[in-house]
Amino acid sequence: MVATLAVAATALVIYGAYFGLITALVLRAMFFSLIAAGGLLVVGLKSKWLWLRALSYALAPLALLPGLHIQDSYMAIVMRGGMGAIH
């Protein structure tokens, strides 16, 4: 699972850099979400305590949510920011 997240983060960065179709706001949010989820999985793998392992594994999918949320609501974020600059 950690390797899958690492490959996904690498593919995301290369795709964003090569094609440029992903804006920096979305790219950063998705990248940091993938890295945070991967980090939590590594902490779970290395942990000797069962409670920390369970907590890390439970939080890993939740770390993916901010990146997905920003990708999903990107246009609303941009439109609200543009409306705020008109005043």
Predicted TM-score of the model (pTM):
0.78
Most confident of 19-23, 26-30, 57-61, 73-77: 57-61
Q: What six digits make up the tokens of 18?
A: 């090569």
| Domain positions in the chain | 2-84
Please give the pLDDT value at position 33.
92
Mean pLDDT of 2-22: 88
Write the single-letter amino acid at 79. Answer: M
Q: Report the C-alpha dihedral over residues 57, 59, 64, 69, rounded to 10 degrees.
A: 150
Query: Is the confidence at residue 85, as pLDDT, over 80?
Result: no
Please give the pLDDT value at position 79.
80
Give the 3-state DSSP-derived string for 64-80, with helices as H, strands as E and coil as C.
CHHHHHHHHCHHHHHHH
